[in-house]
Amino acid sequence: MENNIEKDTKTILIVDDEQPIIDVLYYNLKKEGYRIIEANDGITAVNMALEEKPDLMLLDIMLPRLDGLSVCKRVKNSLNIPIIMLTAKDNEIDKILGLELGADDYITKPFSVRELVARVKANLRKVEVVQNPQLIQEKKTPETKKENKIKVGDLELDLDKFEVKVRGEIIELTLREFEVLKFLSMQPGQVVTREVLLEKVWGYEYYGDIRTVDVTVRRIREKIEKDTSAPKILITKRGVGYYVQGDTK
């Protein structure tokens, strides 16, 4: 069945104990040209991930033998691949724990297959341009060769490469962390509420999940700030929201 797979075909590991969900995802992602492998429990998922080294994992939280959060942690300890958590639980703690353990994104069941496919493509695209930044330049016409960057103080974002630099040093961010920082950096000095960030960066289905914003901001700070207790780049306006400090020179 997989004999004619091309070398550059991306492999996606779907992990869920509900076979009907796997079947739906398998059908739709296969249609997009991906190679699909699957697992129905956490132990099998970890073993399969380490053996097959997929390009991306769709990972349910509620799994037999080993829960999805533990799977996420074990896989991220060995592989630097995007992990999108799938959850049927409307429970902030599970989602936040998943992000803390290194998940790049999450989506709540029942979900739109079209949106999930878009998330998969976005996460794979980020990996592709980070690993092969020359692809972006090759696709640009002479008229579009100018740099697509945002510079605010010590912070520099390359929107084509999904790359962030602080004081010239490249900082590794997840796609979601990058999008948050990008949104704030496009309007330096302007305070943006958590609700607006949820709407503009996460999408309407996350509305009300305020703590997710706080966790993501905290993770960004841990990567870009010298002292997270006294941030100089990503600032909190108590009781309102967040903003990126504009140039003070």
What digits encode the pLDDT tens for the residues 154-209?
Answer: 999 998 888 899 999 999 888 888 989 999 999 999 999 988 888 888 765 444 56
pLDDT in tens, 39-97: 999 999 999 999 999 999 999 999 999 999 899 999 998 998 999 988 876 665 666 66
Cα–Cα distance for residue pair 24/196, rounded to 1 Å = 32
pLDDT band with cut points at 50, 70 and 90 for residue 242: very high
pLDDT in tens, 19-32: 999 999 999 999 99
CA triple 244-176-152, angle to 5 deg: 25
Positive or negative torsion for Cα 190, 194, 199, 202: positive
Residue 46 lies in a domain: yes
164 and 124 in a single domain? The answer is: no
SS (H, E, C) 157-178: EECCCCEEEECCEEECCCHHHH
103 and 43 in a single domain? The answer is: yes
Cα–Cα distance for residue pair 206/99, rounded to 1 Å = 14
Residue 147 lies in a domain: yes
110 and 216 in a single domain? The answer is: no
Is there a contact between 70 and 42 (Cβ–Cβ < 8 Å)?
yes
Contacts by residues 42-45 (CB-CB < 8 Å, ≥ 24 positions apart): 42/15, 42/66, 42/67, 42/68, 42/70, 42/71, 45/13, 45/15, 45/71, 45/75
Beta-ladder partners of 192: 242
CATH number where 102 lies: 3.40.50.2300
53 and 93 in a single domain? The answer is: yes
Residue 114 structure tokens: 């079209």
What does the pLDDT read at residue 198?
Answer: 82
24 and 126 in a single domain? The answer is: yes
What does the pLDDT read at residue 143?
Answer: 47
Residue (of 190, 191, 189, 166) closest to 246 by Cα position: 189
Whether the predicted model's global pTM rises above the 0.75 cut: no
What does the pLDDT read at residue 125?
Answer: 82
Strands (E), the chain: 11-15, 35-39, 56-60, 83-87, 105-108, 149-152, 155-158, 163-166, 169-171, 192-193, 234-237, 241-244
CATH number where 219 lies: 1.10.10.10
What does the pLDDT read at residue 145?
Answer: 47
The per-residue DSSP string of 208-241 comes to: T-HHHHHHHHHHHHHHH-S-TTS-SSEEEETTTE
Beta-ladder partners of 105: 84
What does the pLDDT read at residue 118?
Answer: 86
178 and 233 in a single domain? The answer is: yes
Residue 43 lies in a domain: yes
Residue 94 lies in a domain: yes
Domain range enclosing 121:
11-131
Cα–Cα distance for residue pair 98/82, rounded to 1 Å = 12
pLDDT in tens, 90-107: 665 666 666 777 788 888
Which one is predicted more confidently, 229 or 125? 229
Number of domains present in the structure of the chain: 2
189 and 240 in a single domain? The answer is: yes
The per-residue DSSP string of 19-33 comes to: HHHHHHHHHHHHHTT
15 and 124 in a single domain? The answer is: yes
102 and 149 in a single domain? The answer is: no
pLDDT in tens, 104-150: 888 888 888 888 998 898 888 877 766 665 554 444 444 444 568 99
